[in-house]
Amino acid sequence: MNTEAKLIKLIEAGDEQAFVSLVRRYKTQVYSVSYSILGSREDADEISQDVFIKVHDSLHKFNGKSSFSTWLYRITVNKCRDALRKRKRKKEISMETDISGQEGLKLKDVLESEQKSADELMRDKELQEIVRTAIGTLPEKYRIAITLKEIEHLSYAEIADVMKVTVHNVKVILFRARVKLKERLRFLYEEA
């Protein structure tokens, strides 16, 4: 029996410490995916907590058909989708959204900027923030697929399993997401 299976058994028997170990083991994955999809650290924190509470309460439903991490990603993605739906009333991340709270620096300014070279941007974390924000402007399913591929390095089959679509759909979604990103990040690679 692997460590994961042992932890699951212990948690089902009411072992709190085993649950803490499980959270410690997967918190970075869950938080990273949530943050990438939701684009807000505060929301990612709350949703990640919700994910682990759901895991705790539904562990008996985990049938082992897919791997535990796939099951966990599925819960994470579903929780993020729910959060995005609830957020509909609020303003979605848009082309006017500030990047990292930098006053006056809007995404469209950065994307349209011809002043900064890619090398300059590379020097700090700004590039990562630009890419993150550009991903944040993608439609929900593109954002989820790109996150699972580029941050979590899942295979097409695993992404298909998490998103409950076919492998061909994953291929199409990722291609379309990259075409959109290509336009939004053009100023970076034209100067790179």
**Chain contacts with other proteins (rule: CB under 8 A):** 16, 19-20, 23-24, 27-32, 35-36, 41, 44-45, 48-49, 52-53, 56-57, 127-128, 131-132, 135, 146, 149-151, 155-156, 171-172, 174-175, 178-179, 181-182, 185, 188-189, 192
User: For other proteins, which is the closer residue by CB, 103 or 114?
Assistant: 114
User: For other proteins, which is the closer residue by CB, 88 or 97?
Assistant: 97
Minimum distance of other proteins from residue 23's CB (angstroms): 5
- CB atoms near residue 10 (< 10 Å): 16
Half-sphere exposure of 140 (CA within 13 A, CB side): 13
- CB atoms near residue 71 (< 10 Å): 20
* Dihedral sign computed on CA atoms, order 171, 110, 140, 132: positive
98 closest CA partner among 109, 88, 83, 89: 109
User: For other proteins, which is the closer residue by CB, 31 or 71?
Assistant: 31
Q: Residue 138 carries which DSSP code?
A: S
User: For other proteins, which is the closer residue by CB, 141 or 178?
Assistant: 178
Minimum distance of other proteins from residue 6's CB (angstroms): 18
Minimum distance of other proteins from residue 89's CB (angstroms): 25
Instruction: Please report the DSSP string for 20-73 in residue order.
Output: HHHHHHHHHHHHHHHHHHH--HHHHHHHHHHHHHHHHHHGGG--SSS-HHHHHH
User: For other proteins, which is the closer residue by CB, 115 or 189?
Assistant: 189
Minimum distance of other proteins from residue 72's CB (angstroms): 13
Q: Which helix (H) or strand (E) holds 129?
A: helix 126-136
Minimum distance of other proteins from residue 33's CB (angstroms): 9
